[in-house]
């Protein structure tokens, strides 16, 4: 029997476990599976942790999610084909749930498939080396302080890429008298009530952290973009200005000459793809992009087809794209999908990258990732789901955001799995201060 290691039990690792579990359910002979997870719970980033910096074992805290985080896209776009929302919650729920609700949904499928039995919690993978056709994995169980060395035939890297912050430096940071932090350490917007906040960046974290600070009572919110502004119609009290030049005392000075009194500077400057446990020849090196290099079908490591990466793309599509990747990876590992020769692989990767480099706007980017996901979907037996509905939903969502960034989360979408139309949430997002699952589900 061959052995497969899965590193990480976040959404991607759980997709991989589900893919194998579904095969086993059909009577197929699956490899022996070991999933390593450094946290003491399943669910990856969807676990909320109050911790920042190091955990109790001195390791960096991977969690980047915060209180009051609501889904930033319609839940219908990420629905699992084999585990619909209606099945989990026993009824239709609104389209933009808070974190705790999505976390419950992720754990629900894991429980349904008894996936925990494959997972070694509180166990960090320290190193992966490829030698004589086998991967040698060293791991440490932190609770028992037990170090293990084992051999595997295949490895699936599902460690995420939104945990290690990218932190730029600006003139004047040394002497700035306010607080400087990265969005990775942002936990509770209430902390910034009555304060002047400067947010740097122009992607999802900048958008959401800025809106959170506004919603929970910041005195002013100023967003500094580096290349292109997000350009939304911000409510009064929020503004977008061109890139930070420097800090001077308590003032932020921007490239367009704008001056802003600042209590807190929040760097929403993104994350690094960081795999300190992988030997150099196995290590993916990329920035956050829709088609990272050296991955055939965005999954299989070009130079060693026994190594897979899941979820390494920048993401519009999430959970069901991870599923399509995991179903594909499973079929490669089980020998059902054969790899083409190296020339064909090289050509295929180049074609996708060249398409990616021509993309000009979010709608084209959505279409690109939908096409990519559909190609993977067609290659495996992932259950029925309508990616064309998902594509349309993403287009509408993008337009809703442009119309009004404060109200796009109040909309309703149709399930691509069951056809269910989501009810409108009882409280508009801008007024919903309590993000608990109990309050969210308390729908009449
Ligand atoms: P992760 O969720 O990061 O899970 C990776 C797991 O690997 C972690 O549990 C980690 O502990 C473990 N791990 C890492 N290294 C090791 C190691 N060496 N040994 C053992 N275990 C290890 N997506 C959406 O669809 N909707 C949203 O609203 C949304 N909001 C987001 C908000 C924020 C602030 C961030 C940062 C991301 C958000 N995302 C959202 C995207 C998110 O990346 C995905 O939803 C999803 O969590 C990715 O799953 P993953 O399994 O790839 O990574
Ligand atoms: P992203 O989407 O990778 O975006 C990173 C942002 O950081 C992007 O807007 C960058 O600007 C900006 N950036 C990078 N370097 C700098 C410097 N030096 N100064 C200012 N701004 C900088 O990461 P996010 O954290 O926003 O999103 C990650 C996930 O969280 C996402 O998938 C969501 O689901 C939630 P640029 O646009 O290149 O000018």
168-267 is a CATH 3.50.50.60 domain: yes
Mean pLDDT of 7-28: 98
Express as a percent the part of the chain with pLDDT over 70.
Answer: 100
Mean pLDDT of 85-104: 98
Q: Return d(Cα 325, Cα 374) in angstroms, integer.
A: 10
The predicted pLDDT at position 182 comes to 98
CA 319 / ligand 1 centre spacing (Å) = 11
Q: Which CATH class is domain 3-164+271-393?
A: alpha beta
Mean pLDDT of 136-148: 97
The predicted pLDDT at position 444 comes to 65
CA 201 / ligand 2 centre spacing (Å) = 5
Q: What does the domain layout of the chain look like in residue ranges?
A: 3-164+271-393, 168-267
Q: Give yes or no for residue 262 CB within 6 A of ligand 1.
A: no
Q: Give yes or no for residue 369 CB within 6 A of ligand 2.
A: no
Domains 3-164+271-393 and 168-267 alike in fold: yes
Model pTM? 0.98
The predicted pLDDT at position 394 comes to 98
* Mean pLDDT, the chain, whole residue set: 97
pLDDT tops 90 at residue 120: yes
CA 393 / ligand 2 centre spacing (Å) = 23
Mean pLDDT of 32-50: 98
């Amino acid at each position: 029997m061959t052995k497969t290691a899965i590193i990480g039990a976040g959404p991607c690792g759980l997709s991989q476990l589900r893919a194998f579990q579904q095969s086993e359910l059909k009577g197929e002979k699956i490899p022996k599976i070991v999933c390593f997870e450094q946290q003491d719970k399943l669910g990856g980033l969807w676990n909320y942790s109050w911790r920042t910096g190091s955990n109790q074992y001195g390791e960096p805290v991977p969690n980047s999610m915060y209180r009051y985080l609501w889904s930033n896209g319609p839940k219908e776009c990420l629905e699992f084909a084999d585990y619909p929302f209606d099945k989990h919650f026993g009824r239709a729920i609104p389209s933009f749930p808070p974190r705790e609700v999505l976390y419950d949904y992720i754990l629900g499928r894991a429980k349904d498939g008894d996936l925990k039995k494959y997972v070694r919690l509180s166990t960090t993978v320290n190193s992966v080396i490829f030698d004589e056709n086998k991967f040698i994995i060293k791991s440490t169980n932190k609770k028992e302080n037990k170090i293990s060395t084992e051999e595997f035939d295949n490895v699936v890297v599902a460690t995420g890429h939104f945990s290690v912050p990218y932190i730029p430096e600006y003139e004047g940071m040394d002497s700035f008298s306010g607080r400087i932090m990265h969005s990775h350490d942002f936990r509770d917007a209430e902390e910034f009530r009555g304060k002047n906040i400067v947010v740097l960046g122009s992607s999802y974290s900048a958008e959401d952290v800025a809106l959170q600070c506004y919603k929970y009572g910041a005195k002013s919110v100023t967003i500094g973009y580096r290349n292109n502004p997000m350009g939304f119609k911000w409510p009064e009290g929020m503004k977008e200005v061109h890139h930070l030049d420097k800090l001077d005392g308590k003032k932020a000075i921007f490239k367009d000459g704008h001056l802003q009194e600042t209590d807190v500077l929040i760097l929403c400057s993104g994350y690094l793809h960081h795999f300190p446990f992988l030997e150099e020849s196995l290590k993916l090196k990329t920035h956050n992009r829709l088609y990272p290099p050296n991955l055939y079908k965005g999954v299989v490591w070009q130079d060693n087809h026994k190594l897979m990466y899941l979820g390494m793309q920048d993401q519009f599509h999430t959970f069901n794209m991870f599923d399509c990747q995991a179903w594909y990876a499973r079929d490669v590992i089980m020998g059902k999908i054969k790899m083409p020769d190296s020339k064909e692989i090289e050509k295929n990767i180049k074609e996708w990258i060249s398409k990616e480099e021509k993309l000009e706007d979010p709608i084209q980017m959505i279409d690109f990732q939908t096409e990519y996901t559909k190609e993977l979907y067609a290659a495996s037996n992932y259950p029925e789901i309508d990616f064309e509905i998902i594509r349309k939903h993403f287009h509408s969502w993008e337009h809703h955001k442009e119309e009004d960034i404060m109200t796009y989360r109040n909309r309703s979408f149709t399930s691509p799995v069951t056809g269910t139309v989501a009810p409108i949430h009882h409280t508009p997002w801008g007024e919903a201060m309590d993000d608990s699952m109990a309050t969210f589900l308390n729908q009449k």
